[in-house]
Structure formats: C-alpha cells, structure tokens
Amino acid sequence: MTALSFDTFTKKIYIKANMEKIYWAWCTAEGITTWFLSKATYISPDGQPKAAQDKIAEGDTYIWEWHNWDGQEKGIITKANGKDFFEITFANVCKVSVSLKDSGNDILLTLKQYDIPTDDSSKLNIHYGCSNGWTFWLANLKAYLEHGILLNETINDLRKIPSAGFEFVNI
C-alpha cells in the first residue's frame, strides 16, 4: 500500500454490472444524469454540444450540475478510451481518473483523485469533501446499477443549509 497523503486518494468498489453499462453511466450525459448529476453537458473540441447518448472523448469539455447544489463543475476530458478508463480535470486544480477492471462476476471500479493542493482549505474542501462525496456517489452508482434505486436526496432542498455538504451523507 502506498502511503496516505492529502494530495491524492483512491476509492474502489465492486459492481455487479457489465463494463459497457458502467462506462455508459459515467461517460454519457444520458448515463451520468441517472445516478449522479441533475444536468451534464459535454462539448466537443469544435464547440458543438454532444448528444446525450454520445460517449465522451479526449479533448471534450464538460459542465456538470448537481441536485442540491447551485454551482457548476467545469473541466476537460483529458483521456477516454471508450471502454474502461477516463480522466478529467476536476475542482479547477486536480484530476480524477476512473478505471474499470473485469473481476469475473463483477467489475472493480477504481476512482483516483490526485494533484490536490495541500493548503488547509484544499485539505478540507477537496480532499475531505471530495473523498466523502465520491464514497457516497460510488455507493449510489452501485445501488442504481444493481438494484435500480437511488440514494441521493432529490426531494428535500438542502441548498439553504450552509454545512449540508459536510453533514448530509446523501447530498
């Protein structure tokens, strides 16, 4: 095991679904809005918005919006092989990669967030906040793909609670 540090973290989860379905759930606007986001826009390098069912490709940009958060996340798809791996810029300063590996009866999904600054604000908001967030969202993806249920809060409006992102486990 590599030493733990504030500039990176890794999250893993086994999911009983085929690799194509998991990749679709991450790498199309149609898929990622079923379990993770309220809205996802992908734009090709020539400036054209991609259709909801089109897979992301290297050089695309994205705009993500969540339930219960008014902000947007914008970034670049830095790598995408169309099958089992992609990497994006995230939180303005770091990267997130997701890899899928066939493990026989299920797929091992590994998410790594890295190049995280190590100032106190980044330790709290990016390392701690994103690490907790990805833990929930990966469990939500598993629940959705394996059982057809969603665990994230979409009915109660949590946006007026200043610390909601740190207190609610299913925001």
What CATH number has the domain bearing residue 135? Answer: 3.30.530.20
> What is the extent of the structural domain holding 92?
9-167
The whole-number pLDDT of residue 1 equals 67
In a domain, 4, yes or no: no
Which candidate, 43, 24, 44, 46, places its Cα nearest to that of 35? 24
In a domain, 61, yes or no: yes
CA dihedral 81, 143, 170, 130 (to 10 degrees): -30
In a domain, 132, yes or no: yes
> What's the total number of domains in the chain?
1
In a domain, 67, yes or no: yes
Which residues in the chain land under pLDDT 70?
A: 1
Q: How far apart are CA 153 and CA 41, in angstroms?
A: 21
In a domain, 78, yes or no: yes
In a domain, 1, yes or no: no
CB distance 35 to 150 below 8 Å:
yes
Q: Which residue has the tokens 């996802």?
A: 40
Q: How far apart are CA 64 and CA 106, in angstroms?
A: 28
In a domain, 62, yes or no: yes
